[in-house]
């Protein structure tokens, strides 16, 4: 049996990502954040797996930029 992805609501998202609703909306609009899923007429959520992957990608970008900075510093020495 396939495990279904978990959908998290605003309260849980807010604990994971400390951004305002408006900022989340802007990031979604600019395709820089996972898009929300409509789960009812007046209810939305986000796939937890997509939020986790987004957070991981931020850490990878940070690590890559740190790695590149240290390589550039080594070349300057």
- Alpha carbons within 13 A on the beta-carbon side of 60: 6
Q: Contact, 20 vs 61, CB < 8 A?
A: no
Q: Residue 71 has what pLDDT?
A: 64
pLDDT means over runs of 10, the chain (77 residues): 91 96 98 97 97 95 76 62
Q: Are strands 7-8 and 37-40 parallel, antiparallel or unpaired?
A: unpaired
């Amino acid at each position: 049996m396939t495990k279904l992805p978990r959908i998290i609501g605003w309260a849980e998202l807010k604990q994971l990502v400390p951004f305002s609703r408006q900022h989340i909306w802007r990031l979604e609009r600019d395709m820089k954040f996972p898009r929300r899923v409509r789960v009812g007429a007046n209810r939305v959520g986000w796939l937890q797996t997509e939020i986790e992957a987004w957070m991981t990608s931020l850490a990878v970008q940070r690590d890559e930029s740190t790695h590149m900075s240290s390589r550039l510093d080594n070349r300057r020495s």
